[in-house]
């Protein structure tokens, strides 16, 4: 199993990372929020670059809107501020935007496993075991550091952040 990277994430764009503790076994996760203006898109970034094929996995939740995951020019937006039910998928290679009706809502009270599988020629998004997006593309020449964060005043909590190479 891949290492949990939450302790190694680097704050970017006004990001404040706060450790969350539970009452029984210490650190439960981290909270990621913007430090200044509500419109600042903060992110917690891994301290290395990745090249497809790999799986980017987050177990997290948002307090309201905008749990966002990023890779190169790509972005996943859950609980999008303009339509919390729509999933926004921005292609990592082209930045082409897709809006998928009724695929983007995640309950704010629950932890969710979000898996972004980026292969050389396709990608897939799976939330709590349900495939919410699949698409083809050329991701073979991309190198970037994946990140996760909030936007527009939300705060995101993360208890697992893993990167797993695929063969």
pLDDT tens digits, one per residue of 68-110: 999 999 999 999 999 999 999 999 999 999 999 999 999 999 9
pLDDT for 26 = 52
Instruction: Return phi, psi of residue 6, to 5°.
Output: -60, -30
Q: CA separation (Å) from 48 to 40, 51, 84, 151?
A: 23, 10, 31, 23
Which residue carries 């990023």 as its tokens?
70
Q: Which ranges of the chain have pLDDT less than 70?
A: 1, 22-27, 36-39
């Amino acid at each position: 199993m891949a290492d949990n990277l939450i302790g190694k994430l680097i704050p970017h764009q006004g990001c404040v990372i706060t450790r969350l503790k539970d009452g029984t076994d210490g650190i439960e996760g981290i909270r990621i929020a913007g430090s200044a203006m509500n419109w600042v898109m903060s992110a917690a970034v891994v301290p290395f670059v990745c090249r497809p094929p790999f799986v980017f996995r987050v177990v997290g939740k948002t307090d309201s809107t905008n749990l966002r995951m990023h890779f190169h020019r790509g972005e996943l937006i859950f609980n999008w501020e303009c339509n919390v039910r729509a999933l926004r998928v921005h292609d990592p290679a082209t930045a082409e935007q897709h809006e998928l009706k009724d695929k983007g809502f995640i309950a704010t009270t629950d932890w969710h496993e979000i898996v972004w599988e980026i292969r050389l020629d396709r990608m897939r998004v799976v939330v709590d075991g349900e495939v919410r997006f699949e698409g083809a593309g050329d991701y073979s020449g991309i190198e970037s550091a994946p990140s996760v964060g909030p936007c527009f005043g939300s705060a995101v909590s993360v208890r697992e952040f893993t990167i797993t190479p695929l063969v």
